[in-house]
Structure 1
Amino acid sequence: MSIGIDPAETFRQEARELLDALEQSLLDLEQTPDSHDLVDASFRALHTLKGSGSMFGFDEVADFVHEFETAFDKVRKGRSAISTGLVTVALAARDHIQKLIEQPGQHAPAGRPILEALRKIVDTDGAPAPEPAVAAVADASATAGKTWRIVFRLPDDALAFGTNPLLLLDELRELGPCRVTALTDRIPMLETMEPTLAYLGWEVILETDGGLEKIEDVFMFIRDGMELSIEPGAGTVAGGADVARTPDAVSEPVATTKESSSAAPAVRGAKVKAKDATAAASSADRGGSSMRVAAERLDELMDRVGELVIAQSRLTQIASASNDLNLKNVAEELERLASGLRDTTMGIRMVPIGSLFGRFRRLVHDLSHDLGKEIEFVTTGEETELDKTMIERLADPLVHLIRNSIDHGIESPDKRLAAGKGERGRVKLSATHSGAEVAISISDDGKGLDAQRIRAKAEEAGLIAPDAKIADAELYQMIFHPGFSTAGEITSVSGRGVGMDVVKRTIEGLRGSIDLSTRHGEGTTATLRLPLTLAIIEGMLVRVGNGRYSIPLSAVEECVELPPAADLGDQGRNFLNIRGSLVPFLRLRELFKTTTPPDPYQKVVIVAAGDARVGLVVDQIIGNSQTVIKSLSKLHADVETFSGATILGDGTVALILDVMNLVSFGQKLEGRLRSEHLRRAA
């Protein structure tokens, strides 16, 4: 079955990536306005959007971006300086481009005021006076005339990717009269020649009034990896024809790096010996090439792998009951292959969380302007990988948490100064691996949570009794109740109590947990703990009564035998002494209301979620197996003890225990028992 590719959708996908890159470059420019590389990166993104938009029939996009590019070109040429106002308008223009792409024919008139504001800023924001060194170079270039010597060699893989050097030469000819010489010194012997590699180089003597910028624009999209030298005032055009030059008559071509392209013209024209690593780098790039695959195909592949794992488990069970050695060998080989295929498929689905973190820079930028607060946004752990499905569903919860940190947590500049802090607040977003989990933290250096105010609101809402004793950690969880808010006034950002309950439900729907910690006057940290994947995990199969259950192996720390004395514990609950640490344990037989007689030697599986541990008492530990996670139906949405189900090798269903929920339940239960014990003792 062939799948048709919609060219318009292909453009939209590429445009989203270009718009994201443009947004990041503009945000970086606000912090480092003197960076020529960032200005060039922004201009390249605009130039590509204009060309692609015109090619795919998005004329509104091409026209708007052309005007945007024309105004921004003054910044690139140093005629206008980067300012906060310019970045703000440029970001608005970026948003308008996205609307033109997603909804053609509806938003074109709204772009005129944006372009007018952009032109006004770049026209009134004069460029600073040139530095003495740059001015001297400009004078020297003027005395050298209008002739330029250009030597360039394309990257090895340029032809394979569709770059035509003749079109580049035609663009140079459009700038003025020129003499072109082919450089043939690197052409190998015929038997070693590869037809897809670019061996020719080119020397061009050009007379033009366009200046250096116009020449550099010709090579804008192929600068990375190529060798390029542009020298003023060398050679003449008259009396020469386009020829091929022999190696003896050719000087060593020079390479212009990214760093040199952002320097003064004299530095751009300086000769730097080309590095031999260019060809090797091009070969490495070809070896590490990538291709775009629809997310639906990855999901389908994971489903097929899941079915394969179930079939392999069935075969392994049949082989274990058979005396046929050939069958056992085939089952072991299939298990090895299925395990490798599972790991490879899951690796394909893993995405660096930095792709998600980058989206929030714009959010922080806009909120800081809307609320009149200076915010420093810091991210760490961007390389931490997480399943793509998890990343897609994490965006909204993190938006809510960051908005709350800025609106409720970070004080206004005058209040921060009164509290002995700097005017600029700080929001930090970090991610780290913790075993088979990922911990994502959102922290701020604001005023922290007000426990008394939270308690007053909770009592007012009837969530807790006025005389109830409750730990701070449990009290802070009250803010996740629907409609709960301690905001004194409703703003455009928050204050209606909508959102935090959705955050908690979403995180729990991902089999994760969220914890809050705070210090008065110093800030608050929200920590999300999430499994690496929602698809296939290693599980420990246990038996409780006649039922079999799976415990995620990543949460298991160790297994011990239940001491006989533990059966005498109060109401069947007690603590185990695990190498000097008291660990509460839960009898799953009681939790599941199992009526069959218990096994004589019960086992305790010690599981952990974050820093908390709890023991789960089971009748038997059966062994480890690959567990394909199947979601429970909506009818079982309120069942908190289980996070899903899996199909065993014999075709029966085993429920997967929700370790985070059980650990939280065990900790709260033992806390209440301790309070009752202390009250009786008093």
Structure 2
Amino acid sequence: MNLDAAKQTFLEEARELLEDMERILLDVEATDTTDEQLNALFRAMHTIKGSAGLFGMDEIVHFTHEAENVVDLLRSGHLALSEDLSGLLLRCHDHVKAMLAVVDDKATQQEMLQTSLLDELRHYAQPAAVDEPAGSSQASAPEQGGLRDWVMSLRFNEDVLRNGMDPSAFFRYLRLLGEFLVVQPVLCRLPQAERFDPESCYLRFELLFSSDASQQMLLDVFEFVREDSQIHIFPVGEAAAHWPQLIADADEAEQAAVRQAWLALGLDPDATAEPEPAPPAKAADKASDKASEKADKPATGAAEAKPPRASESRFIKVEAAKLDSLINLIGELVIAGAAANLMARRSAQSALVESTIAIANLIEQIRAGTLSMRMVQIGEIFSRFPRVVRDVSKELGKSIQLNVSGADTELDKSMVDKLGDPLMHIVRNAMDHGIESSEARLAAGKPAEGNVWLNAYHESGSVVIEVADDGAGLRKDKILAKAVANGLVPADSVLPDGDIYKLIFEPGFSTAEQVTNISGRGVGMDVVRRSIEQLRGTIDIDSAVGEGTTFRIRLPLTLAIIDGFLVSVGNATFVIPLETVIECIELPPDALQGDAHNCLNLRGEVLPLLGLNRFLELGQPHAKRQNVVVVRYGDSKAGLVVDELLGEFQTVIKPLGNLFRHLRAISGSTILGSGEVALILDVPSLIHFATSQEAERFASHAEHAQQRGGHGNH
């Protein structure tokens, strides 16, 4: 039995339950609560408590039990979910998460159990217990119910040990909920020694148990074995009524053994069934049962096997490392397929060519399917930010609303994992520096409540993520003055708005007048740019004073395999990412003759040109005819001048290594079918270079023209 694997599964499921709990608490803060939401909160705490008990995590059981009591009072109507109580439950969420992080450190867990959160939870639970009349049908928390004796008939499935479950763990957990009065084992199924299988479970127990827990809470202790085992729990007064159900599937020997066990418990199987009189405290227990029935499946006298959830069979968890290995192998398959296709074409055998084309099509489908496995919705990141906005806005004393759209946009899992921190920096800065105080907003004629928007969408084979706010906007004069003071730009610099805004990404740059816990230390934004660039992405800023600021992050869909467009320049071969290519045209003979501007009139649109042979210092072009590959990234276009167009090519991206990490024009390399290495062009960098070069030439030409005009007038 691999208990470590079972514990890891529990930890993963507990974290998912905590994520659901956080999301629900943030939702109910913004809207009215529903019974379904409160029941889901209860299930989260109850499931974590029950599972932790199976693994002997008593500290987590103790803490979640207190939190569960308060949530149970919420769903029964004793308490209303106020802002303070919601904040307390969020802090309990954080505390349980922290306890799970050090689950193997008993000493630390003991220290974490000494927390003031327990006193706050009991403060909410005690008034409800005191104020509520004893006979109220609404009471449901264990503290409101009196002790009650229960009959438990536990018949574990033979495979329970093979499935990683230890029956003794259920008994250890039950001790936390009450007291064992009498325990009678039923051993009639125990085989002879020669037929005994140590991996099979032959145990059956009949026992009396005293507890103030509800029937549903006791049934839920056996959540993980109820589907395969026969678990019956009912009050002592109803024992005779359940006797026929207990022995329905038993042979004569087992019926006789169970009868003897019941007599040892002081129970008479043949007694006439009479309903047990319910004192006020026990009536409260019945109300608790009803509340539990509303949240979970109805709690009958005997817990029957629950139908399996249909969704479970539709998903399977796979280690990310295994998926990475598969993608690497498919990358090698793409290269081998390209080599086979090249050899087939050279052989001029039509049947062989058709066969390699069919294989290439299958490889393409496998590639697309495997890459789609790595694609996850960006909502996985966005789901973190409602809590961030809530906590930071309260800390800053501002009223801020978060608006999320495009959460279903898919992105490579490896990129999603690395996007969390950069987005966190941007959102926190937007709330701290961007959004004004309510007083300042009202004075400016704005609503008192500020807004932060998170949006994601696909565009031209890329993913665009926008973080926008309706705050005060960026002050260009203030940024430029700070940049001059820091020596980042000359004092007489005239920069475009976009370049001025990008100065905030320089290391140590900050215009904050005060250092806060949120931002203003002059660190963070340079890390943001560096993190985005490591993902082969770009970040741009749009801003208007008094209206707000938008950060726009543009990223490739995947980091592993892309469709490329193969071109040759001189004796070298390059790959242009296909999603950036718009069209290919022939270069007019006089387009690059050293005139003032290297640009092309493309159907009335000025297109900056960049000759790759000159830019990459590859010598004069060999071909008589040159071609222009029109590429686009975001809103910018440029024309890359190449010697020859070689067509589409599936490209497996290979990193260049640390030696070439500073190259701006090259983003990676790939291996062609011939075994040669081709470099992958960094289109965003090339477009930026071409457009900025053309802007400088235009400014220089205009300055010379102005000087000539001045001399003429003189």
Q: Could you state the TM-score of these two structures normalised by the residue count of structure 2?
A: 0.75
* AA of the residue aligned to 1:110: M
1:558 aligned onto 2:583: yes
Q: How does 1:624-635 map to 2 (within 5 A)?
A: 624-635=648-659
1:33-88 CA-partner distances (Å, limit 9, x unpaired):
52222211111111111122122333322222122212332222221111222122
Asked if 1:452 is matched to 2:477, the reply is yes
Match of residue 487, structure 1, among 497, 502, 512: 512
How far 1:124 moved relative to its partner?
7.6
Provide the C-alpha distance between the structure 2 equivalents of 1:638 and 1:347, rounded to a whole number of angstroms: 31
Cα RMSD between the aligned structures? Answer: 4.4
Aligned equivalent of 1:109: 111
Is 1:92 equivalent to 2:99 in the alignment?
Answer: no
Question: Which amino acid counterpart does residue 672 of structure 2 have in structure 1?
Answer: L
Which moves more between the two structures, 317-326 or 394-403? 317-326
Quick check: 1:89–1:114 contact (8 Å CA) kept in 2?
no
588, 612, 621: which is aligned to 2:636?
Answer: 612
SS state at 2:468 partner: strand
Deviation at residue 282 of structure 1 after TM alignment = 7.6
Tell me the SS of whatever aligns to 1:568.
Answer: coil
Q: Sort the Cα spacing of 1:326 and 1:240 in 2 relative to 1 into closer, same or farther, 3 A.
A: closer
Q: Tell me, yes or no, if structure 1 residue 510 matches structure 2 residue 535.
A: yes
User: CA offsets, 1:425-464, max 9 Å, x none?
Assistant: 1111110111311110001111110111001011111222
Match for residue 147 of structure 2? none
Q: In structure 2, what is the equivalent of residue 532 of structure 1?
A: 557
Structure-2 change in CA distance of 1:518 and 1:311 (3 Å): same
Aligned partner of 2:19 in structure 1 is 20
Once the two structures are superposed, what CA deviation does each residue of 1:493-512 show, in whole Å capped at 9, x if it has no partner? 11121111111111111111
User: CA 1:66/1:216 → structure 2, altered by over 3 Å: closer, same or farther?
Assistant: closer
CA shift digits 1:608-634 (9 cap, x unpaired): 111111110001111111000011211
Residue 613 (structure 2) pairs with residue 589 (structure 1): yes
CA contact under 8 A between 2:568 and 2:642: conserved in structure 1? yes
1:32/1:109 Cα in 2 relative to 1: closer, same or farther (>3 Å)? farther
Query: What secondary structure does 1:398 align onto?
Result: helix
Q: Deviations over 1:109-131 (max 9, x none)?
A: 2343343343255248869x99x
Superposed counterparts of 1:264-343, under 5 Å: 285=311, 288=314, 290-343=315-368
Alpha-carbon distance change, 326 to 389 in structure 1, aligned in 2, over 3 angstroms: same
What does the per-residue CA deviation read over 1:579-635, in whole Å, with 9 as the maximum and x for residues that have no partner?
222111111111101114442211000111111111100011111110000112111
| Distance of 1:536 and 1:221 partners within structure 2 | 47
1:599 and 1:506 mapped to 2: Cα distance?
40
Which residue in 2 is equivalent to 1:365? 390
Secondary structure, counterpart of 2:402 in structure 1: strand
Matched, 1:80 2:94: no
Asked if the contact 2:412/2:559 (under 8 Å) is kept, the reply is: yes
2:590 maps to amino acid: A
* Paired position in structure 2 for 1:498: 523
Q: How does 1:365-404 map to 2 (within 5 A)?
A: 365-404=390-429
One-letter amino acid matched to 1:641: A
Preserved CA contact (<8 Å) 1:609 1:659: yes
d(CA) in 1 for partners of 2:343, 2:367: 21
Where do residues 133-532 of structure 1 align in structure 2 (5 Å cutoff)?
218=219, 242=244, 285=311, 288=314, 290-532=315-557
Per the alignment, do residues 119 and 576 of structure 1 end up closer, same or farther by CA in structure 2, a change over 3 Å counting? same
How many pairs were matched up?
A: 600
Letter of the 1:510 counterpart: L
Letter in 1 for 2:349: D
* Matched residue type, 1:347: S
The 10-residue stretch of structure 1 (385-394 or 367-376) with the greater mean CA deviation from structure 2: 367-376
State the shift of 1:396 in Å.
0.8
Q: Partners in 2 of 1:297 and 1:459 — Cα distance? A: 51
Please, which moves more after superposition, 110-119 or 668-677? 110-119
SS at structure 2 position matched to 1:106: helix
Provide the rounded CA distance (Å) in 2 between the counterparts of 1:351 and 1:220: 34
Q: Residue by residue, what CA displacement relative to the aligned partner does 1:309-347 show, whole Å, maximum 9, x if unpaired?
A: 111111111111012344323312221221111011101
- 8 Å Cα contact 1:90-1:118 kept in structure 2: no
Show the 5 A alignment for 1:642-657: 642-657=666-681
In 2, distance between residues paired with 1:65 and 1:285?
27
- Kept after mapping to 1: 8 A contact 2:561/2:651: yes
Which residue matches 1:599? 623
Q: Would the alpha carbon gap of residues 102 and 390 (structure 1) be closer, same or farther in structure 2, given more than 3 Å must change?
A: same
What's the offset of the Cα at 1:568?
2.6
The DSSP-based 3-state class of the residue aligned with 1:626 is strand
Aligned in 2, Cα 1:4/1:36: closer, same or farther, shift over 3 Å?
A: closer
Match of 1:37 in 2: 36
- What SS does structure 2 have at the residue aligned with 1:566? coil
Deviations 1:148-173 (CA, angstroms, capped at 9, x unpaired)? xxxxxxxxxxxxx999xxxxxxx9xx
For residues 681 and 218 of structure 2, the distance between their equivalents in structure 1, rounded to whole angstroms, comes to 60
Q: Identity percentage over the alignment?
A: 41
Pair 1:121–1:34, CA change in 2 (3 A): farther
Aligned CA distance change for structure 1 residues 221 and 638 (closer, same or farther; 3 Å): farther
- Sort the Cα spacing of 1:239 and 1:285 in 2 relative to 1 into closer, same or farther, 3 A: closer
Distance 2:350 2:4 in 1: 49
CA contact (8 A) 2:76 2:138 kept: no
Paired residue type of 1:322: S
1:340-377 deviation per Cα after TM superposition (whole angstroms, max 9, x unaligned): 11011101000011111111222212211211112211
What is the rounded CA distance, in whole Å, between the counterparts of 1:642 and 1:137 in structure 2?
A: 69
TM-score by length of 1: 0.78
1: CA distance between counterparts of 2:470 and 2:652?
Answer: 42
Structure 1 residues 237, 445: closer, same or farther in 2, change over 3 A?
Answer: same
Distance verdict in 2 for CA 1:287–1:113, change over 3 Å: closer
Deviation at 1:394, TM superposition (A): 0.5
Give me the whole-angstrom Cα distance separating, in 1, the residues matched to 2:63 and 2:118.
Answer: 12
Question: What is the CA deviation profile of residues 636-672 of structure 1, one whole-angstrom value per residue up to 9, with x for unaligned ones?
Answer: 1111111111111111111111111111222211121
Compute the displacement of 1:238 (Å).
8.1
Q: Kindly provide the CA deviation profile for residues 368-414 of structure 1, in whole angstroms up to 9, marking residues without a partner as x.
A: 12111122111111111000011011111001000100110011122
| Residue segments in structure 1 that go unaligned for 5+ positions in a row | 139-160, 164-170, 175-208, 227-235, 245-260, 270-280
Look up the match of 2:600.
575
Give the distance between the partners of 2:548 and 2:52, measured in 1 at CA: 46
Q: Distance in 1 between matches of 2:51 and 2:499?
A: 54
CA change 1:545–1:466 in 2 (3 A) is: same
CA distance in 2, matches of 1:606, 1:477: 26
Unaligned runs of 5+ in 2: 140-162, 166-173, 179-210, 228-237, 247-286, 296-306, 707-714
| Cα distance in structure 2, aligned partners of 1:111 and 1:219 | 24
Instruction: Please give the per-residue CA displacement for 1:556-592, whole angstroms capped at 9, x wherever unaligned.
Output: 0111111112123526722332x22211111111110
Question: Deviation digits for residues 210-234 of structure 1, max 9, x if unmatched?
Answer: 99x8559857999xxx9xxxxxxxx
Shift of 1:283: 9.0
Q: Secondary structure at the match of 2:623?
A: coil
Contact 2:570 2:619 in 1 (8 A): yes
Instruction: After superposition, give the CA deviation of every residue in 1:477-533 in whole Å (9 maximum; x if it has no partner).
Output: 100111111111111111121111111111111111111001111111101011110
The CA distance in 2 between the partners of 1:109 and 1:136, in whole Å, is 38
Give yes or no for the alignment of 1:672 onto 2:696.
yes
State the AA in 1 paired with 2:505.
F
Question: What does the per-residue CA deviation read over 1:8-40, in whole Å, with 9 as the maximum and x for residues that have no partner?
Answer: 333322222122122112222222352222211
